[in-house]
């Protein structure tokens, strides 16, 4: 093998190591799954809102509902597009869908349209759709 070929393979390996965990999982996917898990724990942990039901559909997706409310919030990590999606549905109609992407320069999750962030938007959505008592 030529020196140029060896260098090409080493450069490729270096680039891949920057974007994957030691097990080979894409770092972005690991971040997305970790965020879904963290949100789920915060919503159901000690001090959580009473009557909030979390239904874990997959490790990458869960739904939030409240008894006697015809509304639902869904949080879904979508690996193919590299985004977390927050969707609010009320009375069978989608009220909003927000996509959140990892901003490498700011080291934070931000809304794709740069008009919000997941924690604030989730709090607002909970009040708007499931807990109007929070206004």
Enclosing domain of residue 104: 26-134
**Residue 62 falls inside a structural domain:** yes
Q: Which two structure tokens, joined as six digits, stand for 10?
A: 């080493």
**Residue 80 falls inside a structural domain:** yes
pLDDT score for 15: 74
CATH for 79 = 3.30.920.10
Cα distance between residue 83 and residue 99, in whole Å? 6
Which position has the token pair 């979508």? 78
Q: For 76-132, what is each residue's pLDDT tens digit?
A: 999 999 999 999 999 999 999 999 999 988 889 999 998 889 999 999 999 999 999
pLDDT score for 6: 72
**Residue 71 falls inside a structural domain:** yes
**Residue 115 falls inside a structural domain:** yes
pTM for this predicted structure:
0.83
Q: For 2-21, what is each residue's pLDDT tens digit?
A: 787 677 777 777 776 676 66
Counted domains in the chain: 1
Q: For 16-30, what is each residue's pLDDT tens digit?
A: 667 666 766 788 899
**Residue 16 falls inside a structural domain:** no
Supply the DSSP symbol for 115: S
**Residue 82 falls inside a structural domain:** yes
**Residue 3 falls inside a structural domain:** no
Got the DSSP string for 37-68?
A: HHHHHHHHSTTPPTTEEEEEEETTEEEEEETT
């Amino acid at each position: 093998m030529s020196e140029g070929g060896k260098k090409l393979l080493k450069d490729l390996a270096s680039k891949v190591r920057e974007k994957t965990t030691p097990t080979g999982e894409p770092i972005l996917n690991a971040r997305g799954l970790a965020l879904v898990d963290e949100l789920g724990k915060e919503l159901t942990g000690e001090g959580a809102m009473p009557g909030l039901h979390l239904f874990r559909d997959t490790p990458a997706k869960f739904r939030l509902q409240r008894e006697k409310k015809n509304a639902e919030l869904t949080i879904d990590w979508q690996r193919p597009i590299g985004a977390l999606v927050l969707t609010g549905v009320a009375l069978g109609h989608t009220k909003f869908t927000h996509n959140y992407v990892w901003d490498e320069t700011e080291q934070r999750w931000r809304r794709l349209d740069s008009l919000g962030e997941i924690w604030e938007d989730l709090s607002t959505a909970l009040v708007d759709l499931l807990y109007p008592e929070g206004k």
